[in-house]
Amino acid sequence: MGSEPVAPPSVAGPPPVFSKVIDVSDSETTSDEDSQSRGGRPRVEVDTEAVREDLEAGMSIRAAAKKHGISRRTLRRRLGL
């Protein structure tokens, strides 16, 4: 009395092949300025000498980062700490 489930019709043939290739080697937008850009957010300017002077004067990393408007992580990376 119950009917058996019917399988959906199958699609005949192989899957589609994408043959369009985009050549970007001769792009007109490439320039010296673009090749130097790393993408993403621009780097923050940090006066590393002033930061070093603050740290040598006894200022904490947290206070120096706050004073110069950068994160503690950025301060450590730029100074190699």
Is 32 part of any domain? no
Is residue 62 in a domain? yes
Please, where are the H alpha helices in the chain?
32-36, 48-56, 61-68, 72-79
In the three-class reduction of DSSP (H, G, I as helix; E, B as strand; rest coil), residue 36 is classed as helix
Q: Is the pLDDT of residue 56 over 90?
A: yes
Residue 4 in any domain: the answer is no
Domain assignment present for 55:
yes
Domain annotation covers residue 10: no
**53 inside domain:** yes
Please, what's the b/e burial string for 24-40 (b: 16 or more CB within 10 A of its CB; e: otherwise)? eeeeeeeeeeeeeeeee
Question: Nearest 5°: phi and psi at 25?
Answer: -70, -30
Q: Which domain holds residue 65?
A: 45-79
Structural contact between residues 66 and 55, judged by C-beta atoms closer than 8 angstroms: no
Structural domain total, the chain = 1
Q: Quick check: is 17 in a domain?
A: no
For 13-53, the pLDDT digits (tens) are 666 676 666 666 655 555 555 556 678 988 888 899 999 99
Give the pLDDT of residue 57: 96
Is residue 5 situated within a structural domain?
no
As a whole number, mean pLDDT of residues 49-77 equals 94
pLDDT of residue 27: 54
